[in-house]
Chain A
Amino acid sequence: MFSLFRKDKKPAEPASAAPAAAPPAATSGAAGSRATGSQLGGRMVKLSMTVNGKPASAEIDARTLLVQFLRENLRLTGTHVGCDTSQCGACVVHLDGRAVKSCTTLAASCEGAKVVTIEGLAQGGKLHPMQEAFREHHGLQCGFCTPGMIMAAVDIVARRGASLSEDVVRADLEGNICRCTGYHNIVAAVLAGASAMAASGAAKPQAAE
């Protein structure tokens, strides 16, 4: 079944390459108090985090995954579940500025964190440059992998900057599976989106503020 929060992951490892994506180790004051799997016996826990800039809190079963919390508690259904082994990447969100697979992240481990989902990417009614690039370059067909793809793509630019080669984009999309597009137009969209992010000043690595 689902892996629990793994403390042994290196913080620098990108979510896209990690079979079990781990939240960053110490990016907020709350990190030290995050729960680990062995402490979670189906207890109810109180949880507070910031999701897309708004405070969100709830009392949840300690086993609740971040994706379940987002989809069922907050009804943010743009984050999808496409597998049960942390392979497909349809569930990628940003946790304190880094891409994680929310299907493999315990909600309780995100106490005090800042989470951004696909619904929070556009600002002030204006699409994020990466969203625009996916539409412009026909980087989606059925749309199911798209939220995770876009969140992963933004993370690639945040980690590596906007000057990306096709090979780098393809390698960094390792953790995101698309069955429709053959990746051709996704790669084109990510490259164009990266340039657009640079032009708009959005390509700077995101601070885990």
Chain B
Amino acid sequence: MSATGIGASVKRKEDQRFITGKGQYTDDINRPGQAYAVFVRSPHAHATLKKVDLSAALKSPGCLGAFTGADLASDKVGTLICGWMIHSKDGSPMKAGVHPALAQGKVRYVGDHVAVVIGETLNEAKDAAEKVSVEYESLPAVTDLASAQNPGQPQIHAEAPNNTVYQWHLGDKAAVDAAFASAKHVTKIDLINNRLVPNAIEPRAAIGEYDAGNDSLTLYTTSQNPHVTRLVLAAFIGLAPEHKLRVIAPDVGGGFGSKIFIYAEETVCLWAARKIGRPIKWTGERSEAFLADAHGRDHVTRAELAVDASGKIVALRASTKANLGGYLSTFASSVPTYLYAPLLSGQYDVPAIYCEVDGVYTNTAPVDAYRGAGRPEATFVVERLVEVAARQIGKDPAEFRRQNFIKSFPHQTPVIMAYDAGDYEACLNKALELADYKGLGARKAESASKGLKRGIGFSAYIEACGIAPSQAVGSLGAGVGLWESAEVRVNPTGSVEVLTGSHSHGQGHETTFAQLVSQRLGIPIEQVTIVHGDTDKVQFGMGTYGSRSGAVGMSAIFRAIDKVIVKAKKVAGFVLEAPEESIDFNDGIFSSKATNKTLTFPEVALQAYIAHKFTGAQLEPGLKEGAFFDPTNFTFPSGVHVCEIEIDPATGATRIDRWTAVDDFGTLVNPMIVEGQVHGGIVQGVGQALLEGAVYNKDGQLVTASFMDYTMPRASDVPSFNVAMTNTPCPSNPLGVKGCGEAGAIAAPAAVINAITDALGHEDIAMPATPQAVWRAASKAVEKLAAE
């Protein structure tokens, strides 16, 4: 391992600009002649738009224009899309209502987009927006997921009777029913996976710009996947042909899924830029982000686990209602289906699994992928079930897990996935040791002596990352392929630019990707620049989400480097006057057994460009290669997280005393960055378990619509973490990497809730386990004890 190669904790190359205030986020960009967009949003969760009167707004000082859905429709602007087709169990396609960028006829959630007002200045745009007069006819709203499909509920989209988008299922129902019928023990639980607001600290923003000279458009935007944004805006929404539309996603301040999607605001800014003939900027306020960024999770699930007399799991059954909000966001349909149910085998050998999922419209913000996307929901189901089952049959939770672990690979689960590699016992053993599981009894006694309740919770999670084999996801309904591309451009002086379709918004690609290049080409890491986030520079790419950039994005770079080396060896052969087959390349040096001369990588690069040692008939000049990498399987990161908490039953305050994470991510490119991803993921999961929850009242008002009402994890809410790794390399990509970006958020909620229920001695607590909820549950535990 070199100091800057694979496996080294190289300090990040991108940090210099961020720690000096020189980052360039979308809102840091001002374009010449720029005007400002402000959106008029619905205060009603469900209403008919009777009349939108723009006349007073248009007369407001500095107002340059004001538009409604009718203006978009008359310009034949397409509606927003959902790019994954799900079929119901009866074979019928999902029933999706129309999703216009500006409402047409109806509004369907508080924050829905009614009109846009363009002003010379932001203040003038805001003043004008306040003068838009909207006549609403309020309709009853439905916000409760559990009852949204009941007869008589308000109907949100005419296309979707009973607010039901699909009734999907996966698995062998008959086999599962048979296993349950003969099982020795059945554990049943009801779970709510609470609704979350992603809250990347950079709010979304967009600048649309029209170049009349070239009849082309440019969009600067906070996107995790600029090429997919361009594709959708061109091919589906129809704002410009793909070659006349440039999408730039500069520095992006966190995404967590919420910046994957193609939203109304960037669509409207781009359209309005041509309409007004000026660059149009919109910067979301946090209040707007709460109302209209896609939310995450929001499931109601009944789950059951069947266990035989020996303690072996024989079947799992789950029935889930998934809230999809008022419209289908870009990938909303896939999250509670194919990103969820195929993970219900967890790390366990479960012979039979059946899951049914109803996708449901409600008068709430659209719900889509949020860090983990389906896999945290699956892990919560599996790890709560396993924990409760172990307690009910009187087995140690760690040993019950061990007994049921999958122990040989590859392993085909009954729900699509073929796990390729792993060693679940190794993770568990290391976690038990680092968490000092043996000492738990003494620590519990010590807590009890102080009047406190101590509990421990395990979460043995698995995720499917490295999204994804294109043919496989295509067969499941995906509208796109999920390969990744890379282009490696070697300059004549031997420095290298890598153009990647992955997008970094905190992951550190400018460092980790450069480590790969530095190692394989034997050049200093300072000689490598990673280029991403601009459709005029990078030909195409699928972006960053689903912990895919290491496994898929870096693999594409790996393959392009392979081609660079092949070509460079040809060049070296001509220069060294040795047969191409005899050329070796190691640590940046080309050599041949046929001669004692050597060449450095920069020397060969220069020779490739001056092209003096070969003719055009023998070899093309230059040194630039590209590759598309389409994985052959998902990757399967796994691990065991152990959370130990202490509860003060007098106040309900839960303190996380220690956290042990042992993860298997395969090959680690930069351990420092990997650990940072784990830390961040854990805290998002702890936030879900203890603090966060988006709450709509029955009228559809979001009552947790600011950082004053929605509890974000602060530094004092969490401890430092004990993070360790095991390593079984992934066999399906050349680096052996699995992905690490979502693991913490997937593992953490179950670990926390398992710890709290262990401390309290009963299972009756929901997320977020706020002090009030814990206090009530603790009081109930006392009553239960007294009654016994």
Contact = CB atoms under 8 A, between A and B. Distances in A.
Interface string A137-154: 010111111110010000
B609 interface: no
B11 A135 contact: yes
B54 interface: no
A146 B256 CA distance: 17
Interface stretch (B132-140, B226-234, B246-254, B482-490): B246-254
Contacts of B20: 78, 118-119, 121-122, 127, 131
Contact of B202 (A19, A75, A80, A134): A80
Nearest to B507: A141
B471 interface: no
Interface in A163-184: 166-167, 169-171, 173-174, 176-184
Contact of B25 (A118, A144, A171, A183): A144
B252 A142 contact: yes
B676 A82 contact: no
B123 A61 contact: yes
B676 A185 contact: yes
A134 B22 CA distance: 15
A186 interface: yes
Contact of A88 (B23, B30, B508, B707): B707
Contacts of A76: 21
Contacts of A145: 201, 253
B704 to A, nearest CB: 12
B154 interface: no
Interface string B701-731: 0000011100011111010110000000000
A87 B707 contact: yes
Nearest to B708: A85
B286 A182 contact: no
B200 A177 contact: no
B59 to A, nearest CB: 19
B206 to A, nearest CB: 16
A166 B716 contact: no
Interface residues of A, number: 59
A154 B536 CA distance: 40
Given A170-B715, A185-B679, A144 B12 contact: no
A176 B201 CA distance: 10
A166 B720 contact: yes
B287 A84 contact: yes
Given A127-B19, A131-B19, A140-B19, A81 B254 contact: no
B18 A146 contact: yes
Contact of B253 (A121, A135, A144): A144
Contact of B718 (A121, A171, A182): A182
Contact of B721 (A79, A83, A184): A184
Interface in A66-109: 71-72, 75-85, 87-88, 90
A55 to B, nearest CB: 20
Nearest to A134: B19
B157 interface: no
Given A61-B123, A80-B25, A117-B21, A138 B676 contact: yes
A202 interface: no
B200 A83 contact: no
- B677, B678, B680, B718: most-surrounded residue (chain A CB, <10 A): B680
A141 B683 contact: no
A162 B744 CA distance: 32
Given A85-B707, A144-B201, A144-B202, A179 B716 contact: no
B342 to A, nearest CB: 28
A77 B23 CA distance: 8
A88 B720 contact: no
Interface of B: 11-12, 14-25, 27-28, 30, 123, 199-203, 251-254, 256, 285-287, 505-508, 672-673, 675-684, 706-708, 712-716, 718, 720-721, 744
Given A77-B28, A90-B201, A118-B21, 19 more contacts: A19-B708, A63-B123, A77-B27, A80-B253, A84-B287, A119-B22, A136-B11, A138-B675, A141-B508, A142-B251, A143-B17, A143-B251, A143-B253, A147-B19, A170-B714, A179-B201, A180-B676, A182-B718, A187-B715
4 residue pairs, one from A and one from B, having the closest CB atoms: A78-B21, A144-B253, A143-B18, A142-B506
